[in-house]
Amino acid sequence: MRFSPSVLSTAVVTALCAASVSVFAQTSEASVDTAIERITVQGDFRRQTAGQLAGSVTVVTAEDVQRQSVQHLDQLLNQFANVNFSAGASRGRFIQVRGIGERSEFVDTINPSVGILIDGIDYSGLGISGISDIAQFEVFRGPEATRFGANALAGMLNLTTKGPTDSAEGKASLTVANYDSYQLAGQFSNAINSTWGYSLSLEQQVSDGFIENRFLNRDDTNNIDEFTGRFKLSFQATADLKLQLVSHLVDQDNGYDAFSLDRDRTTLSDEPGQDKLHSKALALQADYAGLSFARLHGQLSWLDASMDYGFDEDWSYVGLHPDEYSTTDRYLRDREQLTLDYRLVSTDAGRLGSSDWVLGIYAASKEFDLIRQFWNWDLWQADTFASALNRSNLALYSELSSPLTERLTLVSGVRLERYEDEYADSSANQISNSDTMWGAKLSLNYQPGPQALIYLLASRGYKAGGVNGDALAKAADDNLSELQSKASFAPETLYNAEFGVKGTALDQSLVTRVAAFYMWREDMQVKGWLNPDSGPQFAGFIDNAGSGRNYGIEIENRLQLHPQLALMVNASWLKTKLGNYVTIDGEDFSGREQAQAPRFSYSVAADWYLSDTVTFNVGLQGKDSFYYSDGHNARSSRYELLNLRLNYQLQQWQLAIWSRNALDQDVGVRGFYFGNDPRDGYEPHVYEQFAEPRRVGLSASYQF
């Protein structure tokens, strides 16, 4: 399999131009110091800018979030190259990077391919609620096993929220929008004295949602009702030791009524579902600089979450049709985790001939409990399925950065991780799984100047295997021999080869980043379904396809065309291929494109400073169609989103009128292909869940 010549040549030309512009800017204006890019990547071992770090990384600040009038992670992800998400719930909870990532989680516990960290706490699989207090958001693309482990097979989302400050700072904001929506948020931070400081952020977000239930005559069955609270307390214990306590609270009480038999935004459900999440988390972070040879960074974190997710399976009401059925499906999940991550980072880096090293240890204990309440078609009665999974992880990792010359550096990293699972369920299944996995990275970095980087990167990522509890239970109930072979699934491995160029003009008039990659997937995990009797009963399981290929290009540019006009252009091209994969029903999808992997995506945004107080922001985001699943051929539609914002700044006040999806496009964020409508004899259709339609709102904030 080869790169498209035209695409590859475009990447090389763009890369060389970026390096040339950057070097020219550095040599001609080397005395300018204030223009150097200073935003550092928080998720890396060391505080480096995105332009100094080998790999495809995007850094987003609070100002970038405000530009697009973003209120939730769903709306933020559309502007990133080669990033996609799926919903199947009230929010987009499952992320795909470069075409790799899960689309749902029902009975079986999964190891996400793309993880989520908030202030260093693992929220993978839970999603993100409030982002009003965001300080910085980072998207890592490609395997990041050395840094993040099994949750970063394809990438990682790392969010850092605002923390304590040396003096009193605060902000209060209110947003009102159509669909009876409002968002109320406030942040305050201060120093108690010379050693103690704190920050507090609160956010409440409410909306009726974008669905009309015609049977119940309601427009709030898919509503949003979310509260997020975060508190940080810092303590400078000694000159060398700083401690910080982080506390999170999330209370989400959302409805879930998203799929329509008529395949639009109107539903007929008589028992709308719910998507509730109640979580609390604590973390103790330590930073010790008292050692002569290294700095110690550490975090001990705890999270407890309970989820209540359910839906009306028939999407209709009793009396719709003589051939109808009426059932619900409900998943009650509890998750508790304790994680520890401590590392030593050398302090004598930067001198020619001296190596920069990192040595760390990671340990985690996670408990996943599930109670599923559903209709058992074999027993023809309501039934319950319960399972418990206890997983422990232990990992050692290291990274070494060795300067070869003044401009050339070799960076190598490795991580060795062991996981052990103990699984039990109400079908009397007891299974123990364990495996030892390893990840690595090797990059050769050439810096022609302080503001430019050319790199070659090879990396290896992994994700854990697991147990197919749903398949085991169905095999016992139905005596289906096909499912008995799907008791468990193996870990997946991802190999990545990448070439990239990053350049920044010293006056910041141009920032360009290009990455071309080729990835090999081994034992790739895919979601499979078996419909034994062609009725509403499905058995889901995770299967291992033989292999997969993902390759493409990502380009990010920021241009200051005029002192009053800035332009941001992000684009990606992606080609994917399933390896040898035949479904349990006998359908051969070998060689087909992978799910959630659009061929191209782009985001173009402009900031036009009309005056000292008035700014106009416009953004256009587009994405090609893609397959919704690896197990059927249903596809989304290609779409373009237009976002507009007119902002007025007056001293400490800021007022804005905005519109997201101003063209009112129907954007699919989850799709299935099967028959569920008795009115047409259960003829198979593509059923889609749609993202938000046109949104119009007003925002006001006061900063003090």
Q: Does residue 152 surpass a pLDDT of 70? A: yes
Strands 114-118 and 155-161: parallel
pLDDT at 351: 54
pLDDT bracket for residue 38 (50, 70, 90): low
Q: Which domain holds residue 397?
A: 5-703
pLDDT at 73: 84
Helix (H) or strand (E) holding 65: helix 62-67
Token pair of 203, please?
Answer: 């956010």
SS3 content of the chain, % helix, strand, coil (to 5): 10, 55, 35
Alpha carbon 163 to its chain centroid, in Å, reads 22
CA-CA distance, 299 to 89, in Å (whole number)?
31
Quickly count: other Cβ atoms within 10 Å of residue 305's Cβ.
18
Long-range contacts from 437-440, C-beta under 8 angstroms, 24+ separation: 437/150, 437/462, 437/464, 437/491, 437/493, 438/145, 438/414, 438/462, 439/143, 439/145, 439/146, 439/149, 439/414, 439/415, 440/145, 440/146, 440/412, 440/413, 440/414, 440/415
Q: How much is the average pLDDT of 245-272?
A: 97
Lowest pLDDT segment from 175-189, 351-365, 453-467, 646-660: 351-365
Query: E-assigned strands of 79-195?
Result: 83-86, 94-97, 114-118, 121-122, 134-141, 155-161, 169-177, 181-191
Q: How much is the average pLDDT of 463-468?
A: 91
Chain segment 243-257, per-residue pLDDT in tens:
999 999 999 999 999
For the chain, first and last CA: distance in Å? 57
pLDDT at 74: 84
CATH of the domain at 66: 2.40.170.20
Residues 6+ apart with CB under 8 A from 449: 22, 23, 26, 27
CA-CA distance, 684 to 73, in Å (whole number)?
32
pLDDT at 481: 58
Lowest pLDDT segment from 87-91, 249-253, 285-289, 557-561: 87-91
Lowest pLDDT segment from 33-42, 147-156, 366-375, 688-697: 33-42
pLDDT at 24: 42
Please tell me the total count of domains within the chain. Answer: 1
418 within 8 A of 394, measured Cβ to Cβ: yes
Listed residue (601, 600, 468) closest to 526, CA to CA: 468
260 within 8 A of 240, measured Cβ to Cβ: no
146 within 8 A of 156, measured Cβ to Cβ: no
Quickly count: other Cβ atoms within 10 Å of residue 270's Cβ.
18
Q: How much is the average pLDDT of 350-378?
A: 88
Lowest pLDDT segment from 40-54, 312-326, 622-636, 680-694: 40-54
Q: Does residue 373 surpass a pLDDT of 80? A: yes
Whole-structure pTM value: 0.92
Q: How much is the average pLDDT of 339-346?
A: 97
CA-CA distance, 46 to 658, in Å (whole number)?
38
Q: Taking all residues of the chain, what is their mean pLDDT, rounded to a whole number? A: 90
567 within 8 A of 604, measured Cβ to Cβ: yes
Chain segment 163-175, per-residue pLDDT in tens:
999 999 999 999 9
Token pair of 237, please?
Answer: 């214990």
Above pLDDT 90, what percent of the chain?
A: 73
Q: How much is the average pLDDT of 686-701?
A: 96
